[in-house]
Amino acid sequence: MSRVKIAPSLLAADFGNLQRDVQMVNKSEADWHHIDVMDGLFVPNISYGMPVVKAIKKFATKPLDVHLMIVDPDRYIKTFAALGAFSLTVHYEACIHLHRTLQAIKEEGMLAGVALNPATNINVLEDTIRDIDIVMLMSVNPGFGGQTFIENTYNKLRDLKALIQHKRANALIEVDGGVTSLNAKALVDAGADVLVAGSFIFSSEHPLQTIKELKEIAG
């Protein structure tokens, strides 16, 4: 049984055929549906909001891994819980009272995730790491799919892994942005537990096969 999880990002799906693409992920060896919500303020792009997440939930058979790229995410914690999110990841850079936000997410029965932008050092999580279920390292600047992977992510992965071990924490490490079959193995070797992949999967000719390959490479 494979240890590393694969989370296809539906940002790269064909929105005109969303049901088809969600069902492709259902049928695949992927573990989670990754859902990117952007507000045009925290990031310079707007993706989709609640009605689309509701439509995804209607067809999805795997857990919804929701990534909020929005300012003041506390406003919508209950909303995404009601929509059926399995995990809710907020950005460190968007939270004034991160500890309170994490407790609020967990109180709603979801896994609590924190995403770090490429420019944010992992040390900012020293005092909250034991309260976090998932740390999402952004390996591109958030806002768009299809960007080039930032190589410094490997250093951050190793530092984060060491922090988690040092603090005897249990957080999963998720890597988001620019993941392909070329870097998947190295990311896992450096400590990744969950790999998000959007364009690499959905722009491939045989997405089911691509997911299978990623899963095998990741191990």
Catalytic site positions: 36, 176
In this chain, which of 31, 176, 193, 213 binds Zn ion, going by CB under 5 A? Answer: 176
Residue 12 contact among ligand DX5, Zn ion, none, beta carbon within 5 to 8 Å by kind = ligand DX5
Q: How far is the CB of 115 from ligand DX5 (least distance, A)?
A: 8
Q: How far is the CB of 12 from ligand DX5 (least distance, A)?
A: 5
Considering only the stretches 70-78, 84-92, 185-193, 198-206, report the one whose residues sit in contact with ligand DX5 under the rule CB under 6 A.
198-206
Considering only the stretches 17-25, 120-128, 164-172, 194-202, report the one whose residues sit in contact with ligand DX5 under the rule CB under 6 A.
194-202
Alpha helices in the chain (DSSP H): 18-27, 50-59, 77-82, 98-107, 153-166, 184-189, 199-202, 207-218
The binding site for ligand DX5 (CB under 6 A) comprises 9, 11-12, 34, 36, 67, 140, 142-147, 176-179, 196-200
